[in-house]
Amino acid sequence: MQTKVTFRHLKSRPDLQEAALEAIKKFEKFSDTITSASVEFSSDGMNKVKFTVVVQGDTLIVEESSEDFMKSLRFAADKMVRQLKKHKEKIAERT
């Protein structure tokens, strides 16, 4: 799986990068068909985190913003886990 962490309008922070990579590793528990995942941190007034995960040709996108990057990251990761579970159920229903 390819992973990418991007920082927009702010300097790279190793603590955020490490936390983002740990969150992506957690996604692998819920889907073994993830081909790529990316995380984008941006600071446009609010601290926004955006996950983009490609699963079996489908692209799942989650955005979350708050006053703290770690809080945004946790909320976005939780949303992505819910989407991955839902995606897995849809795939199971098709077969």
For each of the chain's 95 residues, which pLDDT tens digit applies? 899 999 999 999 999 999 999 999 999 999 989 999 999 999 988 999 999 999 988 999 999 999 999 999 999 999 999 999 999 998 888 87
CATH of the domain at 52: 3.30.160.100
Tokens representing 64 are 């979350």
Find how far residue 83's CA is from the centre of its chain: 10
Question: What is residue 89's predicted lDDT score, i.e. its pLDDT?
Answer: 92
Question: What is residue 75's predicted lDDT score, i.e. its pLDDT?
Answer: 97
Tokens representing 74 are 């946790």
Q: Is pTM, for the whole model, over 0.85?
A: yes
Residue 44 near residue 63, CB atoms below 8 Å: no
State the total domains in the chain. 1
Spatial separation of the C-alpha atoms in residues 83 and 12, rounded to whole Å? 27
**18: helix, coil or strand?**
helix
Question: What is residue 59's predicted lDDT score, i.e. its pLDDT?
Answer: 97
Q: Give the domain range for residue 48.
A: 2-94
